[in-house]
Amino acid sequence: MKNYFSKILFSFVFSVLVLQAPAAFAQNWEIELGAGFDIQKGVFTAPCACQYSDGSGYAIRAAVAYDYFSSDGLLFGMKPGVDYKQFASAHTYISPDRELNLRDSANISQTYLTVDPFVRYTFTGTDLFVQAAPSFAYVIGSHFYQHKTYLNGSRWGDGKADSTWEDGPLENSFKTRIAARVSAGYRFALFGAYVAPTVTADLPLSELGSADATNTRTSYWAITTIYCSLGVFFKI
pTM for the predicted model, two decimal places: 0.82
Q: Which residues of 140-149 are buried (b: 16+ CB within 10 A; e: fewer)?
A: eebebbbbbb
The domains of the chain are located at: 2-234
User: Which segment of 111-120, 160-169, 190-199, 209-218 scores lowest on mean pLDDT?
Assistant: 209-218
The CATH architecture annotation of domain 2-234 reads Beta Barrel (2.40)
Using one digit for the tens of pLDDT, what is the confidence trace for 21-71?
A: 454 455 678 899 999 999 999 988 888 878 899 999 999 999 999 888 877
Tell me the per-residue pLDDT of 115-152, one tens digit each, with 9 for 90 and over. Answer: 999 999 999 889 999 999 999 999 999 999 999 988 88
